[in-house]
Amino acid sequence: MAKPGVTVDWQDGKSLSECMIYMLEKEIMCDVTFRVGTDQSIIKAHKYMLASRSPVFYTMFEGSCPEKGEIIVPDINPEIFKASLKCIYSDKLEVALENIADALYVAEKYMVCTMKKECTSLLSSSAETSNAPLVFNTASHFHLETIKAKSLQYIQNNAVECLTAPNAMKISKENIEAILKLDSMSCSETTMCRFLIKWAVHQCEVQKKTATGENMREIIGSMLYSVRFPFIDKEYFAKEIAHSGLLTLEEVVSVFSSHYGRENEFYTGLVRQSRVFNKIHTVLRHQRIVTQWAPYKDIINYDALKIKVNKNIELKSVILYGPDGDVSSSAKNLTVKIINDSGDEVFSQKYESCTQRRELQTVNLSEPIELDSNKYFTITLVGLKFAAYFGEQCKPEYRIDDIIVTFQNSPNCNTTTNVEQGQIAGIEFNV
């Protein structure tokens, strides 16, 4: 500790990169000024540092026609530009995944190899998470083929988790089409259709258009014919698609006719196969997802449902509804329990909920659980403390080819979760 009255030099106790960052942030001895973004925010830096890390900056300052005055940078967000400068000075990139595309743009524009490496490292580490749609979109734009393939494979294997993630709505039309053209996905065709419609509604909002069937059809364009409408849940098609204006009358009639064995003249009759061993199945029990599920206060909430499948299965994941707002650290902890037909607890796993708004979240079981055919097992969500999304218009029975999944009310439940509504969105399993 310095003695009273003794001045401590700011350089003391700092590493080289820390000193460089300090000089950047305090604008000490800066000799170049940038006006960044649409509002031309003033950001200062050091020519020698920029030139030492970027051939573009080197040419800018030491080329045949060097820049003399302020440098205008209208195409970069000021905060991204500041983060990029810090990376140039320290080799450390502090940018959220949501902004990684902007950072990659800077790295490529100024040919900062270290920064591009940091960006690709973050993308690669996020490729096998629920952020895979965002990673896939970014990797496609910047031609990062290895990361693109890695993230697309994760989307195929974890379709429900990925296609319901908020960032999936930001995928470009070109990349939406790439997903729709896949012949294998670990979800139902109904899930694929719901995803496309939700994306189209979002695009209508972005373009300030009313989300009518006609406007969505215009936005979707030829991608519509990549949806395999003959294999969509019949009730969902009749209630949500047939009268929406998304399809022409001739197309609607053709799909209805295909339900009775006639060949469809508009949409492919080939079933989209499951990506994982052709055995994984996903069942979501809701017709609608809505907000404002409020857990009971002053008691421990037990949201429970009984489920049986007509075949022996290996349960892989439990799909839960996510929070409809921010979640505090004290409220994010949940427990998922599974009880077999004999009343024995065969599984219990603590799970940290995501802390931001998300319709669905997947709890991957630490080990798959083998469950016998035609015997009920109970899934219980223990300790929900935050306002959440929940399912409505749920059906007691779902069919996937010759597989029948049945839901039943559980006496272990002390909330209003039941076969018609509530928590516990669905399951993923192998037959």
Q: In Å, how far are 295, 341, 380, 396 from 414, measured between CA atoms?
A: 10, 19, 11, 19
Measured CA to CA, the distance from residue 101 to residue 107 in angstroms comes to: 10
Q: Which of 62, 91, 124 is the last residue of a domain?
A: 124
Q: Are 35 and 69 in contact (CB under 8 A)?
A: no
Question: Does 272 fall in a domain?
Answer: no
Domain shared by 189 and 120, yes or no: no
Domain shared by 144 and 223, yes or no: yes
Question: pLDDT above 90 covers what percent of the chain?
Answer: 65
9-51 tens-digit pLDDT: 888 989 998 999 999 999 999 999 999 999 999 999 999 999 9
Measured CA to CA, the distance from residue 249 to residue 81 in angstroms comes to: 52
Domain shared by 307 and 423, yes or no: yes
Q: Which of 124, 145, 170 is the last residue of a domain?
A: 124
Question: Does 413 fall in a domain?
Answer: yes
Give me the pLDDT at residue 121, please: 95
Give me the pLDDT at residue 425, please: 94
Tokens of 33: 């000024």
Question: Does 404 fall in a domain?
Answer: yes
Q: Are 133 and 178 in contact (CB under 8 A)?
A: no
Domain shared by 119 and 182, yes or no: no
Give me the pLDDT at residue 6, please: 52
Domain shared by 117 and 55, yes or no: yes
Residue 211 has pLDDT above 90, yes or no: yes
Measured CA to CA, the distance from residue 359 to residue 190 in angstroms comes to: 17
Question: Does 9 fall in a domain?
Answer: no
Give me the pLDDT at residue 401, please: 81
Residue 322 domain boundaries: 280-430
| Neighbouring C-alpha atoms within 13 Å toward the C-beta of 386 | 23
Give me the pLDDT at residue 276, please: 44
CA 31 to chain centre: 42
Residue 421 has pLDDT above 80, yes or no: yes
Domain shared by 140 and 116, yes or no: no
Measured CA to CA, the distance from residue 135 to residue 126 in angstroms comes to: 7
Domain shared by 149 and 60, yes or no: no
More confident residue, 378 or 341: 378
Domain shared by 287 and 391, yes or no: yes
Average pLDDT over residues 174-195: 90
DSSP string, 136-190: HHHHHHTT-HHHHHHHHHHHHHTHHHHHTSGGGGG--HHHHHHHHT-SB-SS-HH
Give me the pLDDT at residue 297, please: 85
Domain count for the chain, please give it. Answer: 3
Give me the pLDDT at residue 269, please: 62
pTM here is 0.64
Question: Does 273 fall in a domain?
Answer: no
Residue 117 has pLDDT above 50, yes or no: yes
Q: In Å, how far are 208, 219, 228 from 201, measured between CA atoms?
A: 10, 9, 19
Measured CA to CA, the distance from residue 153 to residue 212 in angstroms comes to: 33
Domain shared by 301 and 376, yes or no: yes
Per-residue pLDDT band for 283 (boundaries 50, 70, 90) equals: very high
Question: Does 267 fall in a domain?
Answer: no
Domain shared by 33 and 150, yes or no: no
More confident residue, 298 or 243: 243
Q: Are 371 and 340 in contact (CB under 8 A)?
A: yes
Domain CATH number, residue 323:
2.60.120.820
Question: Does 270 fall in a domain?
Answer: no
Residue 221 has pLDDT above 50, yes or no: yes
Query: What is the residue whose two structure tokens read 């979501």?
Result: 284
Residue 2 has pLDDT above 80, yes or no: no
CA 128 to chain centre: 11
Per-residue pLDDT band for 405 (boundaries 50, 70, 90) equals: very high
Cα torsion through 362, 368, 372, 375, rounded to 10: -30
Average pLDDT over residues 59-75: 92
Residue 1 has pLDDT above 50, yes or no: no
Domain shared by 344 and 365, yes or no: yes
Domain shared by 141 and 202, yes or no: yes
Domain CATH number, residue 73:
3.30.710.10
Question: Does 381 fall in a domain?
Answer: yes
Q: Are 282 and 188 in contact (CB under 8 A)?
A: yes
End-to-end CA separation in angstroms for the chain: 67
Residue 325 has pLDDT above 80, yes or no: yes
253-268 tens-digit pLDDT: 998 988 877 777 777 6
Measured CA to CA, the distance from residue 214 to residue 212 in angstroms comes to: 5
CA-closest candidate to residue 386, choices 345, 346, 357, 347: 357
Q: Which of 124, 144, 168 is the last residue of a domain?
A: 124
